[in-house]
């Protein structure tokens, strides 16, 4: 007997866009992960993983899975990182048919940063 899949109408999509890869995680409102994926998981290797096309493919696949299998209609999007897949991921979510209720940039920013290098002596 197959277990009934959890139905979520509103969820959260976390996108981590680094310079090397784009990770996508879909969770319900409580924070329990429903499905996840990355551009590397789709078969992109090396520098092709870091392209906007790879990010779009990863996000579209995961969001369609969340929409079809779990019934997600609306999502809050949290984006982290400076990678090239940031904008492409948002466009992919919108084109996959999920309504975006909120977009938040949660990229960590240092308040003071590391200690500067010592002054150069000539």
Quote the Cα angle for 67-63-58, to 5°.
155
How many independent structural domains does the chain possess? 1
Confidence category of residue 3, pLDDT binned at 50, 70, 90: low
* Mean pLDDT of the residues in the chain: 91
Q: CA torsion angle for 66, 37, 89, 74 (degrees, to 10)?
A: 20
Express each pLDDT in 34-51 by its tens digit: 999 999 999 999 999 989
Express each pLDDT in 54-89 by its tens digit: 999 999 999 999 999 999 999 999 999 998 989 999
Predicted structure pTM score: 0.86
Give residue 52's domain range: 10-105
pLDDT of residue 2: 56
Q: CA torsion angle for 103, 95, 42, 71 (degrees, to 10)?
A: 80
In sequence order, what are the residues at sequence separation of 6 or more whose Cβ sits closer than 8 angstroms to the Cβ of residue 59? 13, 15, 22, 24, 85, 88, 89, 92, 93, 96
CATH number at residue 52: 3.30.420.80
pLDDT of residue 51: 93
115, part of any domain = no
């Amino acid at each position: 007997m197959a277990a009934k899949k959890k139905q979520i109408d509103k969820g959260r999509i976390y996108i981590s866009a680094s310079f090397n890869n784009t990770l996508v995680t879909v969770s319900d409102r409580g924070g329990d992960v429903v499905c996840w994926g990355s551009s590397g998981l789709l078969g992109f290797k090396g520098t092709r993983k870091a392209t906007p096309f790879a990010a779009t493919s990863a996000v579209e696949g995961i969001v369609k899975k969340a929409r079809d299998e779990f019934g997600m209609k609306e999502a809050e999007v949290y984006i982290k990182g400076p990678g090239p897949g940031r904008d492409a991921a948002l466009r992919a979510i919108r084109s996959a048919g999920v309504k975006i209720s909120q977009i938040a940039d949660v990229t960590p920013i240092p308040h003071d940063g590391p200690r500067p290098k010592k002054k150069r002596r000539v």
